[in-house]
Amino acid sequence: MKHLLMSYSVMILTVVAIVCLFLVPKPAAQDAAPAKTATSKAVRPSAKPTPRLADGHPDLNGFYNNTDRYTGDPTEENPGEHIINRTADGNIFFDYAGANGGGVATGGEPPPEANEPPYKPEYMEKVKALVAKYDYGNTSALDPQHDCKPLGVPRGAMGIMQIVQTPKVTAILYEADPGPYYRVIYTDGRQHPSDLDTSYMGHSIGHWEGDTLVVDVVGLNDETWLGGGFTGPKYGNMHSDKEHVVEHWTRKGDQLTYEATVEDPVMFTKPWVITPRHAQIAGDSDYIQPQMCLNNDKPHFIQPSDKDHYQCNWCQKDSDNVYGQGASADDQARSKTLPQRAGGGE
């Protein structure tokens, strides 16, 4: 017990010392910023000149790695922005939620975000059942991203990303965890394929309306969530493979704004307009980092043995029944001429 009390005392003293270290004002001579005046405001990234391509459209090219960061007047920031201010005496104030993004629950379960998808009652019950299994925050082991699946649209549309823009196509490469993914937006006038197979990021075609790239996304599978983790909303995970998303990408200065309307006639009572998201262009010396998927599907690998050996890719368990009498014998004869290696054995 004595040692336990001593440990707690040391821990408390350490915490107090760290807190005091942050509260002690820095001398004015050491990198102290001058006090703000009524006319000295930080320049918003969106207030800078917008670069344009030869065709007159905004230039979306670049690496974007900063989201919702603003150093100006806290009364003017957008919802969810991070306020970073230095006072006249040199202290730094960090508000990671922003003046409009903070809030403390008064007890019990925090209320759902105001901007939640409008689920039909029968699907809202299923959504709540998934939320009840969240381990922490807005996610759990059930979250598809933990199985190395791309985040889908609109959840994974805005993030740490490299945009490569041409007049006919715009590609977005994402630096993401647990693995990288990409999408291609066609701007050459084509339409969606009539025999489209569904996928995680769907099929995207875009056109310009003024300075905004409007993107129509279809062909999204139902294996992704609409939110989770830090990409919210909490009560917004499920969607069907009939999901349809219309995106608006707008660059003003160094800031890129993403807006989207999500339709799901199967699960929603009406279209869902997400909360706008923002990203800033990175510095010239910053660039996209190589990523890799952390999860490997290994249980299906089989060590070779007298019973299990490699035959061929996509072999049938019962070739005679599928391809006709004698097919199994042909498979076995062919397998003897191929290298013996792990995996694929039945």
pLDDT digits (tens, 9 = 90+) for 75-99: 555 544 444 455 566 565 544 443 3
* Lowest mean per-residue pLDDT among 213-227, 263-277, 323-337: 323-337
Which among 335, 286, 288, 284 has a CA at the least distance from the CA of 309?
Answer: 335
Residue type, 168: K
Judge whether 259 and 266 are in contact, CB under 8 Å: no
Residue 233: band (very low, low, confident or very high) from pLDDT cuts 50, 70, 90: confident
The b-or-e profile of 223-234 (16+ CB within 10 A means b, else e) is: ebbbbbbebbbb
**Burial (CB count <10 Å: 0-12, 13-18, 19+), residue 189:** exposed
Decide if pLDDT at 227 tops 60.
yes
Instruction: Quote the CA–CA distance of 284 and 278 in Å, as a whole number.
Output: 19
Judge whether 267 and 243 are in contact, CB under 8 Å: no
Q: Name the helix (H) or strand (E) containing 277.
A: strand 277-281
Instruction: Quote the CA–CA distance of 92 and 30 in Å, as a whole number.
Output: 13
pLDDT tens readout for residues 131-152: 888 765 667 888 888 788 899 9
Span 18-42, mean pLDDT? Answer: 41
Residue 268: band (very low, low, confident or very high) from pLDDT cuts 50, 70, 90: very high
Pairing of strands 181-186, 203-209: parallel
Domains of the chain, earliest start first: 2-51+69-95 (no CATH), 121-281 (2.40.128), 301-346 (no CATH)
End-to-end CA gap in the chain: 60
Q: How many CB atoms lie within 10 A of CB 274?
A: 23
Question: Structure tokens of 226?
Answer: 């609409």
Residue 208: band (very low, low, confident or very high) from pLDDT cuts 50, 70, 90: very high
Decide if pLDDT at 105 tops 60.
no
Helix (H, G, I), strand (E, B) or coil at 65: strand
pLDDT of residue 313: 56
Instruction: Quote the CA–CA distance of 159 and 181 in Å, as a whole number.
Output: 11
Decide if pLDDT at 221 tops 90.
yes
Decide if pLDDT at 346 tops 80.
no
Q: Name the helix (H) or strand (E) containing 330.
A: helix 327-335
Q: What is the DSSP string of 171-213?
A: EEEE--SS--EEEEEE-SS----TTPPPBSS-EEEEEEETTEE
pLDDT tens readout for residues 285-322: 888 987 777 655 566 666 667 877 666 655 566 767 77
Give residues with Cβ within 8 angstroms of 318, minimum separation 6.
Answer: 328
pLDDT of residue 329: 73
Decide if pLDDT at 123 tops 90.
yes
pLDDT of residue 33: 39
Span 2-12, mean pLDDT? Answer: 44
pLDDT tens readout for residues 176-189: 866 788 999 999 99
pLDDT of residue 21: 42
Span 125-136, mean pLDDT? Answer: 84
pLDDT of residue 133: 81
Decide if pLDDT at 125 tops 90.
yes
Q: Which of 21-30, 306-315, 321-330 has the highest mean pLDDT?
A: 321-330
Decide if pLDDT at 251 tops 90.
yes
Tokens 């006090």 map to which residue? 35
Decide if pLDDT at 280 tops 50.
yes
For 166-171, the CB contacts below 8 A with 24+ separation are 167/53, 167/55, 170/60, 170/206, 170/213
Q: What is the pTM of this model?
A: 0.65
Span 7-30, mean pLDDT? Answer: 43
